[in-house]
Amino acid sequence: MAAVLELIVGSYEQVVLGYRVATDDEEWTAEANFTHHAHTASISALAASERFVVTGSKDETIQLYDMKKKTEHGALLHHDGSITCLEFYGTSHLLSGGEDGLLCVWGTKKWDCLKSIHAHKGQVTSLSVHPSGKLALTVGTDKTLRTWNLTNGRSAFIKNIKQTAHIVRWSPDGDKYVVVVDDEVNIYDLETASVTGTITNPKRISSVKFLNNSLLAVAGDDEIVRLCELEKLKCVCEFKAHETRVKAVDSFMMEDYCVLVTASNDGLIKMWKLHLKEELEPPTLLVEVNTSARLTCLAVWKPSSVQPPAEEPATASSTSEELARELSKTKRVRIATEVVVLEDESKPRKKKKKDVGK
Ligand SMILES: *[C@@H]1O[C@H](CO)[C@@H](O)[C@H](O)[C@H]1NC(C)=O
Ligand SMILES: *[C@@H]1O[C@H](CO)[C@@H](O)[C@H](O)[C@H]1NC(C)=O
Ligand SMILES: *[C@@H]1O[C@H](CO)[C@@H](O)[C@H](O)[C@H]1NC(C)=O
Ligand SMILES: *[C@@H]1O[C@H](CO)[C@@H](O)[C@H](O)[C@H]1NC(C)=O
C-alpha cells in the first residue's frame, strides 16, 4: 500500500523545498511538490506536525506553512536573533529556541506564545521535549544543560557541561537522553541526571536520531552514518550514505522496517530501508533526490505522524505515571501526574474520564 509523505528541507538559499514521496513495495519515487520562499535569510531549523511545517531562520522569524492547503500561514515574531531549534509536542504545542537565549512555548490553535522563558545566558543551541510533555531540556552556549518544568515554566535543575553542547535529545521512552558535544555522544540517565556512558564519533557530529530506545543513528562531518547501541556503548553498523558530509539524519517507521532519511552537503537527500533486528545489516537505498540546494535541515511530514502521546493518551498517562513513580524516588525531580501543561487540546476524548474495566 502506498503511503503519503513528504520530505521537507531547508537551505542556505532561504528556500524550503518539499518533495512528495510515493512509497511502493517495488519502487519509491520522490517528486518536487512545493517551494516556500518566506524567509530573507538562510533556514536554520525545521519541524513538521500533522498539519504544519514550521521553519526558523537567521532572519529571526518562524514561518508557518499549512501542508493541507499548501499555503503560507503567517509568521511568529518573538525572538530577537536567529531561530536555532524548533520542536512540536504532538499537534498542540510548538517549542522554539533562539540565539537570544529564549525558549518559547506556542499553542498551535491560535499560535500564541504561552510561555517565554529566559533559558540561557547565551544562545539556546538545542531543545527536546520529554515524551510526557512535562519537561523540556535545553543546552546553550553558556555551557549548561537545563531542565524546564513545563507546568510552571521554572528551571528544574541545571548541569554544567565542559563545552557547549549542540544537540540534546530524549530517548523515545524518556528514561534517558543524549547530549552531543563536538564528536561525543554523552548518555544521561533521567533519574540520576549523570552520564552513564559516552560514544565518540570519528568526526564532529552534525545530527543524531533515535531509531528505537537503544539505537541511535549518528551523522557527522564525513559521508558515513553510524548506528550505535547505547547499552553496548558502541556503533554496531555503519554505511557510506553520501559522497560528501552528512548534514542531517531523520527516520520513521513503515510497517515492519525503519526508513532512514539522510541529507548531504552536496544537496542530495536519500531514503534508506533498515530492518531493526538483532544483527543489524547496512540499509538499502530506496530513493534519492538531487535538490541542487545547500541543505541545512530536514524533516519528514506525514499526515498521520502524530506523536504517541497525542495519539494514545491512555498509554501516555500510564507512562508518565510510571515516570512519576520512578522520579518520586529521587530528590532532584518530581513530576505531578495531575497537571499537564502540554495537553493535546485537539483530542477532546482525552478529557472524558472512563473506567475501562478491571
Ligand atoms: C503536491 O501534492 C498535492 C497533494 O498533496 C497535489 O495535489 C499537487 O498537485 C502537488 N503539486 C505539485 C506541484 O506537484
Ligand atoms: C532496537 O533495535 C536494535 C537493532 O535492531 C535491537 O537489537 C534492539 O533490541 C532494539 N531495542 C529496543 C529497545 O527496541
Ligand atoms: C545535482 O544537480 C546539479 C545540477 O542541478 C549538478 O550540478 C550536481 O552535480 C548534481 N549533484 C549530484 C551529486 O549529482
Ligand atoms: C512542576 O511544577 C509543578 C507545579 O509547580 C509541580 O507540581 C511539579 O511537581 C513539577 N514537576 C517537576 C518535574 O518538577
pLDDT at 307: 40
Sheet with 284-290, side-by-side order of all strands: 246-253, 258-264, 268-274, 284-290
pLDDT at 182: 97
* pLDDT at residue 343 tops 50: no
What single-letter DSSP state applies at residue 350? G
With a 6 Å cutoff on the Cβ, whether 302 touches ligand 1 is no
pLDDT average, residue stretch 342-356: 38
pLDDT at 300: 96
Pick the closest to residue 11 from 251, 266, 259, 223 (CA basis).
Answer: 266
* Residue 119 grid cell: 533559558
Transcribe 273-289 into DSSP letters: EE---SS----EEEEEE
> Closest-lying ligand to the alpha carbon of 340?
4
Average pLDDT, the chain: 86
pLDDT average, residue stretch 30-54: 95
pLDDT at 157: 86
d(CA 215, CA 249): 14
pLDDT at 272: 97
With a 6 Å cutoff on the Cβ, whether 33 touches ligand 1 is yes
* pLDDT at residue 320 tops 60: no
Nearest CA to ligand 4 atom 11: 335
Map grid coordinates 538531487 to a residue: 290
State pLDDT tens for residues 248-303. 999 999 889 999 999 999 999 999 999 999 999 999 999 999 999 999 999 999 88
Q: What is the CA radius of gyration of the chain?
A: 19
pLDDT at 151: 86
Q: How far is the CA of 212 from the centre of ligand 2 (A)?
A: 6
Q: How far is the CA of 284 from the centre of ligand 2 (A)?
A: 18
State pLDDT tens for residues 113-135. 999 999 999 999 999 999 999 99
Nearest CA to ligand 2 atom 2: 276
Fold of 3-330: Methylamine Dehydrogenase; Chain H (2.130.10)
Q: How far is the CA of 279 from the centre of ligand 2 (A)?
A: 10
Bridge partner list, 233: none
Nearest CA to ligand 1 atom 2: 33
Q: Where are the domains of the chain?
A: 3-330
Percent of the chain with pLDDT over 70: 84
pLDDT at 26: 77
Nearest atom within ligand 4 for CA of residue 149: 1
Q: How far is the CA of 93 from the centre of ligand 3 (A)?
A: 38
Rounded to 5°, the CA angle 51-317-157 comes to 90
Q: How far is the CA of 292 from the centre of ligand 3 (A)?
A: 6
pLDDT at 340: 33
State pLDDT tens for residues 198-238. 999 999 999 999 999 999 999 999 999 999 999 999 999 99
The residues lining ligand 4, judged by C-beta closer than 6 Å to any ligand atom, are: 134-135, 149, 151-152, 156, 333-336, 339
* pLDDT at residue 339 tops 90: no
Q: How far is the CA of 308 from the centre of ligand 4 (A)?
A: 22
